[in-house]
Amino acid sequence: MLKNTINVIAVVCLVTLGLFIYHTYFTTKVVYIDIPVVFNKFEMKKELQEKYKGVEAGRKRIIDSLGFSLQLLANKLKENKTNKGLMYEFDTRREEFFKRKNQMQEDNVALSTQYDKQILEQMTQYIIEYGKKNNYDVIMGADGTGTLMYANSKLDKSEEIIVFINKKYKGIE
Amino acid sequence: MNKFNYILFFLLMFFLESCRRDTADNDLEKNTQHLSLSNTHEVLPVEEFVKWVGDKENGLSKIKEISEMNYHLSYMPKECLAYMELKNDNLTKSKFDETLAHYEGMTYFNLRIELKGGQGELLKYNLSSPQQYNERINYMAFEMQKDIFLVQGNDTLMPGMFHFERIYEVAPFATVMLAFDNKKFNPESEFTVVYNDRLFNKGYIKYNYKQKQLIDLPNLSGV
């Protein structure tokens, strides 16, 4: 009786060991993340977005102020259409206004691109570190464009990764 | 004999199971170990103390890897600075204490930017124009200190001392020494050192130091 029990336990253990070895060494560990969710919840993105909004608002104030003074000048010109000096000043300031406006729009795009690059670079780095730390073979990115058509939600590591990358960014981890 | 084999088998199973530990648990255990190590206030000779401080496992020297760059920030206790200053001279207790006094009142850090597996001078990496090299040197010598700060609670503190260690020989790294005035922040409380990397455009790089992390150090056994 005792011998049989030991045999059964031994078989169970052997199967468990086999499964463990198979699972550890012969299966590919694949998980996925929802890229927009992770990106939007990344602290660096939130911080730089705030910074960008501040810079953009500051530039907008300058343009609004230039536009306002141009509008005043236009009103003056309406009342005094024959004043050549005023017309010249208006043309010069209008040119300056559009030049500054275009320049600031270009600067906004450049700043946004620069911040996106910085965010993606750090986010990617921390996701690599997360993958290595947790022994994942593949981390796929779902972005709703069809690169990942279906995956069991159990494999979704977005929330876990958000916690990890935010700790990495803050220098806590 | 068979029973012996079974027992052996069970032991093997236990061994394998104990090896298969969650990485997070391992890290937690590691952290606890470090904490307990630093809390024991073990006594070390100065050379060992310097090694202990530089050991990344002890959390005072931190590294951030971002793409092709490594950013090391190391807390430098005044004992380390005094030792480094005197190690090539005749190191005596009185000289050591005298040098130590020079470093009072500030909390020192060393920031090293390194090109991973890099060759050649760091500041010549990916130059877009020849004059960019000079711009980078000027940036490191005069402008970079505006991009490094310490955050504690709602307070932001700029470095009270900043020094770019110019290396004229070819080296894939650059080092700056910085220090914060102890009167303007509390080194015993949690704080974060932030570097906004405009040199290689990697953005904010943060290093967090926990409460009492800078004071839970081994004691010196003497010089």
Q: How far apart are CA B100 and CA B83, in angstroms?
A: 9
pLDDT at A117 over 60: yes
Looking at the DSSP bridge assignments, the partners of residue B178 are B109, B162
pLDDT band at A65 (very low <50, low <70, confident <90, very high): very high
Percentage of residues in chain B having pLDDT higher than 70: 80
Residue of B217, B215, B189, B223 lying closest to B40 (CA atoms) = B217
- Other beta carbons within 10 angstroms of residue A117's beta carbon come to 13
* Average confidence (pLDDT) over A126-131: 96
Residue of B166, B174, B54 lying closest to B118 (CA atoms) = B174
To the nearest 10°, report the CA torsion of A96, A101, A107, A111: 150
Length of chain B, in residues: 223
Q: How far apart are CA A126 and CA B46, in angstroms?
A: 36
Maximum separation of any 2 CA atoms in chain B, in Å = 80
pLDDT of residue B8: 60
Whether the CB-CB separation of B78 and B103 falls below 8 Å is answered with yes
What ranges do the domains of chain B cover?
42-220
Q: Are A125 and B23 an interchain contact pair (Cβ–Cβ within 8 Å)?
A: no
Q: How far apart are CA A164 and CA A123, in angstroms?
A: 10
pLDDT of residue B28: 39
pLDDT of residue A53: 97
Q: Are A10 and B6 an interchain contact pair (Cβ–Cβ within 8 Å)?
A: yes
pLDDT at A10 over 90: no
pLDDT band at A81 (very low <50, low <70, confident <90, very high): confident
Q: How far apart are CA A51 and CA B30, in angstroms?
A: 37
Residue of B129, B114, B136, B108 lying closest to B205 (CA atoms) = B114
For the domain made up of A2-169, give the CATH fold.
Protein Binding, DinI Protein; Chain A (3.30.910)
Q: How far apart are CA B109 and CA B207, in angstroms?
A: 11
pLDDT at A103 over 50: yes
pLDDT at A82 over 90: no
- Segment of A4-13, A85-94, B161-170, B175-184 carrying the highest mean pLDDT: B175-184
pLDDT band at A136 (very low <50, low <70, confident <90, very high): very high
pLDDT band at B11 (very low <50, low <70, confident <90, very high): low
pLDDT of residue B36: 37
Q: Can you spell out the DSSP letters for B70-110?
A: EEEEEEE-HHHHHHHHHTTS---HHHHHHHHHHTTTEEEEE
- Please tell me the least confidently modeled range out of A76-90, B20-34, B44-58: B20-34
Q: How far apart are CA A172 and CA B15, in angstroms?
A: 33
- What are the residues of chain A with a beta carbon less than 8 Å away from any beta carbon of chain B? 3, 6, 9-10, 13-14, 16-17, 20, 24, 44, 47-48, 114-115, 117-119, 121-122, 124-125, 129, 133-135, 169-172
* Average confidence (pLDDT) over B181-208: 96
Interface test with A, best of B26, B206, B207 (most A CBs within 10 A): B206
pLDDT band at B32 (very low <50, low <70, confident <90, very high): very low
- Chain B residues with CB inside 8 Å of A119's CB? 203
* Average confidence (pLDDT) over B175-184: 96
pLDDT at B53 over 60: yes
pLDDT, tens digit (0-9, with 9 covering 90-100), for B113-146: 999 987 788 998 889 998 999 999 999 999 999 9
pLDDT at A107 over 60: yes
* Average confidence (pLDDT) over B141-160: 96
Looking at the DSSP bridge assignments, the partners of residue B218 are none
| Reported ipTM | 0.78
Whether the CB-CB separation of B76 and B108 falls below 8 Å is answered with yes
- Segment of A102-111, B95-104, B125-134 carrying the highest mean pLDDT: A102-111
Whether the CB-CB separation of B107 and B180 falls below 8 Å is answered with yes
